[in-house]
Structure 1
Amino acid sequence: MSPFVFNTTKSIQFGAGSFSRLGELALSTIGRRVLLVTDAGMVATGIVEEALAHLRAAGVEVQLYADVKADPPEEIILAAAGTANSAGVDGVIGLGGGSSLDAAKLVALLAVGKEELRSLYGVGNVKGPRLPLILVPTTSGTGSEVTPISIVTTGASEKMGVVSPVLLPDVALLDPELTYGLPASVTAATGIDAMVHAIEASASASANNNPVSRTLASQALQLMGPALLRAVQNGSDADARADMLLGSMLAGQAFANSPVAAVHALAYPLGGHFHIPHGLSNALVLPHVLRFNAVTAHHSYVDLAPHLFPDLASLKGQERVTAFCDRLTALSVDCGLPQRLRDVKISEDWLPKLASDAMKQTRLLVNNPRRLTEADALAIYTAAF
């Protein structure tokens, strides 16, 4: 067995109603002065006000930063870190989807004042330390609460990642009840995103692809396969919501250690240029990347398919791989997601630019199980068009 490293969040606390413990967790993990990082959409749901009430009831003083935007640009990260510095907080809480959690990670790091954001991009460039950090996800998709990764929009449209175990939070607090109000479209897109994390982690060409990640990826797909459509069709299905949130977290643990690849690399330009939600961007290119990768990732997909779709166990070899790709497409259709780039108002003349930009995602492409050229990327976008 090859050597590997597996890192994850120190404490994971899961359960319906566990959000009510946020105040006591903040007091014991952070202290009496915290910065709560979130976005305006979360404020509108009432969940932020509930968080503030739990924190204040425990005697915790809260400074609120609620200006995070999807795919947060550098200026948002720096502004939030400035707020943390001005308030003299003891630590940070991130509440919301992946963008808020990613922002909170970097704020906890930058607020210490020893590092500059522009020097952190890439893998292993963070020195630390950071402030104490609690992350509370409200979607079942990114797994950010257990990943050492933060994605930032740099310049007009390019996304870059900061990757370091220092970014792993002290506590991940997962309450399925926080996901009950998610719209069906968000539930669907984030759910497909979590499935992509599991699939890409399991087939990753990374030298750190490991048996722990593969086991977690398989378990994640077993949980999410039967649950996603139920959660989309009935947002208050408690069992489906719990399975999706736990599955998303397990997939996050998997890809945090066995990194994702070309699906994400080709999804990023869609979000950067057209502000398409990350989960939907993944869903749009997923089946086409899988078909491209099947030449070299055949055995991985054969192994994974029955975990997500148990009835595919009766099929063998290439027949199972083909059915796996087809069923993922059908699941996306059943969830009501757009299927073509043209459906999200991307014109064909954009495809060469998207292919060129995807090739800049070298951090991700190096993990793809099949070498991908710019011509290959263009062919995948064309198939998705």
Structure 2
Amino acid sequence: MPKARETVLEIDLKALKHNFEYLKSKLNNNTKILAVVKAFAYGSDANEVANYLQSLEVDYFAVAYASEGVALRDAGVETPILVLHPQAINFKTVIERCLEPSLYSAKIFNEFIAIASEEKQSNYPVHIKFNTGLNRLGFSENDVDYIVSKALETSAIKVKSIFSHLAASEDLNEKTFTERQIKTFKSISKEFSKAIGYQPMLHLANTSGVLNYPEAHLDMVRTGIGLYGFGNSKEENKNLKPIATLKSVISQIHTIEKGETVGYNRAYKSEGVEKTATIPIGHADGIGRQYGNKKGFVTVNGNKAPIIGNVCMDMIMIDITNINCHEGDEVIIFGNHPNASQFADATNTITYEIITAISQRVKRLLIKG
């Protein structure tokens, strides 16, 4: 891969393909794959990632909001797109752009039926979300009769799938809870299908569900973090490849004397003669202030360099006292070694947070392999 000359996020499509094929190998031939590409495809590049996965014949995409689905349609994505958290104000746009809404409450359900009827739709595909223990969004098990009766009253919509979301599938200490969720969802599915008179598509498993609970694969699985190279465990991380590498460069090197300070609020004080380097990336780019004062580190020429002082909006400073390097040299914030999971561990946060936080002002560079 080319050496960075500015702050860039490299996106490796070969790694994406590897992850897709690895996750697919865990499924039987009849189980569909839905790729979650919300939040700019977990901080990478949703348009490029979705179009590449479309070329690999992924079955479905999911986004959080309607605007994300519109952006994918504008980028040429024709694969079905599930909108996981639509708002009623966007329902006309959802229909205009052939997006498929998740309906998770009586209010949202009835409002979409009204808009679909007004727009003279017939059998418009919708997905019904059930809450089985995450307690975030979704109908309860007791709502089955209500949903079915409303759905059968109108020809404007047709329930294409019913689904739920596992709350702790990555934590095997919560296996009993997860198995109870699976059992509850299968019970809901049986009751729903019988009442509505046909079998909607069923999906429940997220990435950790794919890896840990094959009995939850059902008709389709939804994978997000796994596609981007993380399996929510050290063991599975070895089988996946991070698709994103965040790189920058050394802008300037300083030699400071004992007792001199670095950065805002004089947060770092030198204990002797030291060398520091300034890097053009900061909290406006997704490297939060919590990584300052030696909590986080970057890699320069294969060596760990702690972040010193407070993280600035557009810059960080690092200690390079014992590292042979020069202005213009490449700096790795995260990639393969260390990966984003290890970077996030420094402040007890999660991989999801660090990779989705990378600002859109950071240049994306596609590596096609």
- Please, what TM-score do these two structures have when normalized by structure 2? 0.26
Q: Greater RCO between the two (CA within 8 Å, min separation 6)? A: 2
Which structure has the highest helix share of the two? 1
The structure with the greater share of residues assigned to strand is: 2
Larger Rg: 2
